[in-house]
Structure 1
Amino acid sequence: MTHQAIEISGTEIPVIEYRNERVITFKNIDRVHQRPEGTASRNFKANRTRFVQKKHFYLIDNAKKDEFRLFGIDIPPRGLTLITERGYLLLVKSFTDDLAWEIQERLIDGYFRAKAYEQTRPEFSESSSGLSGELFDRSADRFEKALKTVTLMGISGRREALLTANRITRETTGVDLADIIRPELKKTTPLKTGILPCIPSVTESELIRFAELWHSEYGSRSVLTRQLCELTEGTDVNIPPGRCDTRFHKIKFGKMLSKLDGHQIGHYRITGAGKKRNLRLWRLKLADEK
């Protein structure tokens, strides 16, 4: 039986899906990151208390071995741990070399989120008014390929990726699928995607890393400034700069978050979420979420 696989930076890994999301084994994390076998597993065991089952990982019982054989995966008698996207982002906190940063980006876009991008095509295939079947099929195929390409090149916002793929399709086939099917897609939104405000002693790459940590820990839930201030303790992410154990540092960190309110950072956007007992709350949304 032929199993679906994806190539990430020259390494082919099998596509494994469980409970409608893509997951990955420790072995394949090590292979893609070019780490000695057992590295990802040791990191997981060393920080086991930080991982939540069904959120960061799934423990697959041997009784499900027939189900996973469809993916070309063998479940040993002791069971198998499968890591989710959120779990992966937690697991690779200690992978900070240049290759690791590159692999993380490609694995997120090219593996974990690739299915979501592939599912975009049906949105553009509901209507082909005024088009021949052959031209529409050719345009849809071109759009699908363009969408995969622009996301792999780092365009992470869903709306921006759709519009870029649509522009490529229009220029190469003459068909504007967005005009025909979803003209509202071209309406502008107030998302701040320009240059990020200057934060002393903090680089943009550190901000992106901080956002990934935030999302892996809290998702889109509302959180307090204090919780975010303590998020990077024990990691190599220097946000906020220095320690966060005084009221002064927490206030300074809160001001930094206020500067970033509404701005896109990597795949996400920081927004204010009101107050709780007079304490400021924050949320992290997907960049294209309204």
Structure 2
Amino acid sequence: MEDSSKRNSVQIAGTDIRKIEYRGQQVVTFAMIDKVHKRPDGTAGRSFRENRERFVDGDDCIELTSDEIRRMSLEGVLPRRTARATLITKRGYLKIAKTLGDDKAWEVFDEMIERYFAVEQIVETAKVVHLDRAARETRLFMRQALQIAGLAGLAGNQRLIAANRSTRKATGFDYLDSMGIPHMEAPQNDVLLTATDIGKQLGAISAIRVNHLLSEHGFQIGGRDSKGHGFWKPTEKGIKAGGVMVDVERSNKTGQARQLRWASNIVATLRDIIGGEAA
């Protein structure tokens, strides 16, 4: 049953009251408020009706359906033959308590918040902590997956798709789906090539010669990092020709470095250039 009452009780200001839960939150009836505040029957209900415009349906109060009233009557939460019934949430109780503003009311109010509604607060706090921890772990896993995909030579859509697939499998969270991108077109499964790889396919020419050709014809430019290490990066022309920067592990295992790699179609481009030079 979706709407249920729990038969545990709590003592408030020396009075035992039964805890009622409705759709995952603690609620009270007008009779319960009158009982713990030791007010004449009908006091809380009258206060509610006199200030009805201040109460928001669903947030402060819940008007029960006939089926819900019947079920709660059978459970002993409501008197039998109840025609209409309203449940009051924690927020609604705070509003009613304001109208019972004597010293005794404040004492009861404190106990109600600390003891009756305490379980609801603990559950909500636990949910927030759990979700926050899960979100951090998911973000960390996605970053690591992107790095590994880059080390494997993947780039662009391929890199993102592979990292997202790995993250979804490990954590259950799909970044692309959450962004409204249920499908992303993956480029053809093209292995990215180093200058050495390109040289082998061009007839065993050296990587130095390949880099010279790429630089001379405007596909890449050279530079040096903060430690004086030389590197190549693609020009706009080079990016259009399939040049991408990827993260790779240094040969001495001392960390990662950025390296320029190329889509396989660059081989045909350079072959045409070499053929033109030979002619």
TM > 0.5 fold call:
no
Higher relative contact order (CA 8 A, sep 6+): 1
Interval containing the TM-score (normalised by the shorter chain): 0.3 to 0.5
**Normalising by the residue count of structure 1, what TM-score does the alignment of the two structures yield?**
0.38
